A and B are shown apart, each in its own frame.
Chain A
Amino acid sequence: MSAAIATPAAARGRRLRPGFLATRKGMVGFAVLAFLVAVAVLATWIAPHPPDAIDGSRVLAGPTLAHPFGSDALGRDVLSRVIFAFRVSLAVAVGSTLLAFAIGTPLGLLAGYRGGWVDATIMRPIDMLLALPALLLAVALIAILGPGSAIALLAIAVIYTPILARVARASTLVVSSQTYVEGARARGAGPWRILTRHVLPNAVGPVIVQATILMGFALQIEAALSFLGLGAQPPTSSLGVMLADGRDVLSQAPWVEIFPGVAIAITVLAFNLFGDGLRRQLDPRGVTR
């Protein structure tokens, strides 16, 4: 037996590649996201100026070559501030969604696979959470726990967990009735193994798609909370905080407001396009539609 055994991971990698890049949408979304993530990660090296450097001579100065996005009320470089604020916003958006994904997926999986009273016990509280308006829920949580980026992250995770759990449950219901799950049972696999090795890998696709799209909206929610003063607290800035600052000087120096706004719009759009591209690959049955 000299023939080498190809690794299945490689086989799956080969299968994943073309899908989300096959559509132009997915490709554009992926490219923009890759660029944005690179900017966030490399902020310290990319930003042309220190974000907190105050320059009294440049108060509300318009865009120039040295300061392409202009300067704000304290003469700080808007481009550098947008880059650093974006880093915070993106971290909160990604972190909150990942947290919701990590909690919601197992809950939905278990509810869908076991059914009966397990399903009811898990899903009824989740339905109750879904019934509350998202932003109100976040504001209430922050009122209890105090403002800050970490709390905003937690609040968004609380909003998203029920959504992702529902998608995971729906997808699990479809997968659990497949012959190969029955087949695994017929081969003597235990319930834990069936759930983790057969149901999870086949059911998680739609959840990933939904999570990707939700990430974009998480950035929006973070911005809204920060705009209201409930998210990032000084000296940390986020895109929402910048929107709030820019509002005061909107008529004299619109660039202070416009650029963080554009950053939010582009990011949400990129997440959506990328999510749509992923859907083609990971959710052919359209559970998330």
Chain B
Amino acid sequence: MTAPILCLEGVGVGFPTSQGRVSAVTDVSLDVREGEIFGLVGESGCGKTTLAMATMGLLPSTSDVSGAIRFQGQDLVGLDREALRRLRGDRISMIFQDPMTSLDPAFAIGDQVAETILAHRDIGRREAKARALDLLVDVGIPDAGRRYGDPPHRLSGGMRQRVVIATALANEPALILADEPTTALDVTIQAQVLSLLASLRERHRTTIVLITHDLGVIAQVCDRVGVMYAGQLVEVASVGELFARPRHPYTQALLEALPTVHHERGDLRVIAGRVPDLTDPPPGCRFATRCPHAMEVCATTPPLADEDPAHAVACWLSEATQRAAGHVGIASGGTS
């Protein structure tokens, strides 16, 4: 098993708002191993993007981040601005959701790639342009030499996302945070972009954290996956494990909610209730308010614990969680 490249230890993120402090992420501990594609899945507002932004040091200065975010052993929380700037786009880079807006409309696409190189490498403009052109070819921009000088609006969404990926790859980063890279694209383009990411991982040995709300995307390219709900990490497992044996009731409900061809029309399963208000979250497990198995003990936060080496879950129904918390026999039997 390879060493973790990114190691989150008890990470919490809060934002002040006019309604009070929102705790967007609470006590997330997580290892991302070198060379893997780690999927982070959860619904809108569950803290996936916040986690990525915290790693990049891109959260607004009003937010507070607790815990430790270790990248290659170095804690990024509280690192000074210049050190973070040097890391961004060089060792860690990020791909944003919407390729329509994440490229500067007043800039030639090739120069946006070259800019990323020039921000971090002490090389000449000509050399950076040559490298940028190579990258555009690498991510599959047809006729890249002629496209180099085009402004973004001349490219289709899929092509733009390729350019964005080229900028992310520019300095051969160790880690790429891809925040919903395919959400704004239609399915055929989505498949192309995903296979591009997968092949880049093979060729450059880059670690990728893929943030998405789409379980299909996870199943297609990820090695392992973490499930988040309302700021908490509730389950981490290899992709095969997660889809075969989901342990957390939220994950189970999510998988059941996926429509399949066997479903009757109009027979979409939904999870009853709503996501709790994060300015005043319920104590303990945040899914408890919607969970069919909710018990009294759910008012205390269940620790994330390994059921087996490939599967960790934070739920009081799990014996591993009970053992980790020092409780025994709170619930009779495991899940499913």
Which residues of A does B touch, CB under 8 Å? 1-8, 10-12, 15, 178-180, 182-190, 193, 197-198, 201-202
Contacts and interface: CB of A to CB of B under 8 A. Distances in A.
Contacts of A15: 151
A11 B150 contact: yes
B19 to A, nearest CB: 21
Given A180-B101, A186-B93, A187-B167, 17 more contacts: A1-B134, A3-B133, A5-B133, A6-B146, A8-B108, A8-B151, A11-B151, A179-B96, A179-B98, A179-B102, A183-B104, A185-B88, A188-B116, A190-B85, A193-B115, A201-B104, A202-B106
Contacts, number: 107
A182 B130 CA distance: 25
Contacts of B146: 3, 6
B103 A180 contact: yes
Contacts of A190: 85, 119
Given A188-B88, A202-B106, A193 B119 contact: yes
21 contacts: A1-B134, A2-B145, A3-B133, A3-B143, A5-B110, A5-B145, A5-B148, A8-B108, A8-B111, A11-B149, A179-B98, A180-B105, A182-B58, A183-B102, A186-B58, A186-B93, A187-B170, A188-B86, A188-B87, A197-B115, A198-B107
A145 to B, nearest CB: 39
A188 B58 contact: no
Given A6-B146, A7-B149, A186-B58, A1 B102 contact: no
Contacts of A180: 101-105
Contact of B101 (A6, A7, A178, A193): A178
Contacts of B106: 12, 198, 201-202
Contacts of B104: 180, 183-184, 198, 201-202
B133 A11 contact: no
B87 A185 contact: no
A106 to B, nearest CB: 18
B144 interface: yes
B93 A187 contact: yes
Nearest to A186: B94
A222 to B, nearest CB: 33
Interface of B: 56, 58, 85-90, 93-94, 96-98, 101-108, 110-111, 115-116, 119-120, 129-130, 133-134, 143-146, 148-151, 164, 167-168, 170
A188 B90 contact: yes
A254 B135 CA distance: 71
B288 to A, nearest CB: 35
A12 B119 contact: no
A12 B151 CA distance: 8
B102 to A, nearest CB: 4
A129 to B, nearest CB: 30
A227 to B, nearest CB: 42
Contacts of A2: 145
Contact of B96 (A8, A10, A182): A182
B149 A188 contact: no
Contacts of B149: 5-8, 10-11
Contacts of A189: 85, 89, 115-116, 119
Nearest to A190: B85
Contacts of B148: 5-6
A180 B97 CA distance: 11
A4 B146 CA distance: 7
B224 to A, nearest CB: 24
Given A10-B149, A11-B150, A11-B151, A187 B119 contact: yes
Contact of A179 (B56, B87, B101, B133): B101
Given A4-B145, A8-B111, A186 B105 contact: no
Nearest to A10: B149
Contacts of A6: 108, 146, 148-150
Contact of A5 (B86, B101, B129): B129
Contacts of A197: 107, 115
B109 to A, nearest CB: 9
Nearest to A5: B148
A275 B146 CA distance: 34
Contacts of A183: 94, 96, 102-104, 164, 167
Contacts of B143: 3
A261 B157 CA distance: 54
A263 B85 CA distance: 55
Of the candidates A7, A12, A185, A202, the one having the most CB atoms from chain B within 10 angstroms of its own CB is A185
Given A179-B102, A189-B119, A1 B130 contact: yes
Given A3-B145, A8-B108, A182-B58, A188 B150 contact: no
